[in-house]
Structures are given as structure tokens and as C-alpha cells.
Amino acid sequence: MMNLADKRPAHEIARERVNMLAAELGLEIACQFVPFSQSRNAKPRAGSDKPWRSLNWRVTLSAKGREGLTLDYSQGEGYAPASKGNRFPDKWSKAAAVAVEIETGRKAKPDFGGKPYPGREPIPAPDIADILHCVAMDSGVLDYATFEDWASEYGYETDSRSAESTYRECLAHALAFRAMIGDAKLQELIEAANEM
């Protein structure tokens, strides 16, 4: 139920709701950084000769201390600390700094010549609300009776092996997550995550 006196944007209220559901269900995450070169995004995307540069994580989701689901999670390069602010003077050094960060998981620092190198400070891991948003959105796969139905809704080709692999991965994660928290709480989480 929405509080009409709450003047915050809907996405902030939804994020708070997702965090409250996580606490209520005893959900926790453990994130392990994955160097970009070892990630699923390192290969070029379909229709492009370049990969999608990203920060990558291997995330384990547990409920009340019991491990239940492990998945890959990616954040676009805009989440790299070097892409924000002006610690690097030009777009070339900024791009090089982002490359350092997505490969090492450490915040880049400029040397005296402005060339980036990995510092000691780790890049912050994603928070549980973002992970749960991703899992909730992927759980929409449960609303489709077949791969073909799901593929046509999400714009995938029904004869694509890659699309079918994505479908199967989403389905496996959705089923495991639903087994962890139950159908009613999954629906509640999906509803909240839709507003984020």
C-alpha cells in the first residue's frame, strides 16, 4: 500500500520495498568480481565487432543462511567509478581507466603522467536491491508456457540457439528462486521490482 504523504520518487519507494522484502525473507548476497576478459561479455555481441564492456560479478544469493542460487551479474561500464567525475583529464585516459577497472575490480588512479593504474580500493559490489530486481525481471519467464511464447514477447528469434540458452538460464534461475522464497513472495517482489 502506497503512503500518499511520501513525496519520494516511485523508484526510491520501490527500492525500499525490495530491500524490506529481502530483510523479511533473510536474503543475502555474496559477490565475487569477475575480470572482464573472463566474463561472458568479453566476446563480441551479435551484429557487432565489439564486446559490451561491463563490470562483472558472480553472485550467490542465500536465504536465511542457506545458499540457493548462483548467477552472473553485469553492470554497464557507466558503473565504473572512472566513468564518473573528472579524475582523468580527457576521454582517452578516462576510457583507459574504465578498462583498468573492469579488468581488475579496483578503482583506477592516475599516475604522474595521467596514465591509469589499479589502486587498492575495490569497486563496490552491486547491492541486493539491484540483484533482486534482475532476478525478479528474469522470473517473468514463468509467465510463458513455451520458449516460443517467451521469445516472441522479448523480441528473440525462435530459431536462435543463443536465445534458447538465455531462456533456459532464466527459467532455471526463476525456478530456483521461487523454490527459495515461494510463489507469493516472488510475485510481491516482481511487483516492487517493476517500479524500480
In a domain, 117, yes or no: no
What does the alpha-carbon distance between residue 129 and residue 43 come to, in Å, rounded to a whole number? 28
In a domain, 101, yes or no: no
In the chain, the number of structural domains is 1
For residue 107, pLDDT beyond 80: yes
Interval 161-179: pLDDT, tens: 989 999 999 999 999 999 9
Q: What proportion of the chain, given as a percentage, has pLDDT over 90? A: 71
- Residues with Cβ within 8 Å of 15's Cβ and at least 6 positions away in sequence, in order, are 129, 196
In a domain, 164, yes or no: yes
In a domain, 179, yes or no: yes
Interval 145-166: pLDDT, tens: 999 999 999 999 999 998 999 9
DSSP-assigned letters across all residues of 36-54 = GGGSGGGSPPTT-SS---E
For residue 4, the model assigns a pLDDT of 64
Q: 109-143 burial, b for 16+ CB within 10 Å, e for fewer?
A: bbeeeeebebeeeebebbebbbbbbbbbebbbbbe
- What is the residue range of 74's domain? 10-80+123-193
In a domain, 68, yes or no: yes
In a domain, 109, yes or no: no
C-alpha cell at 36: 572482464
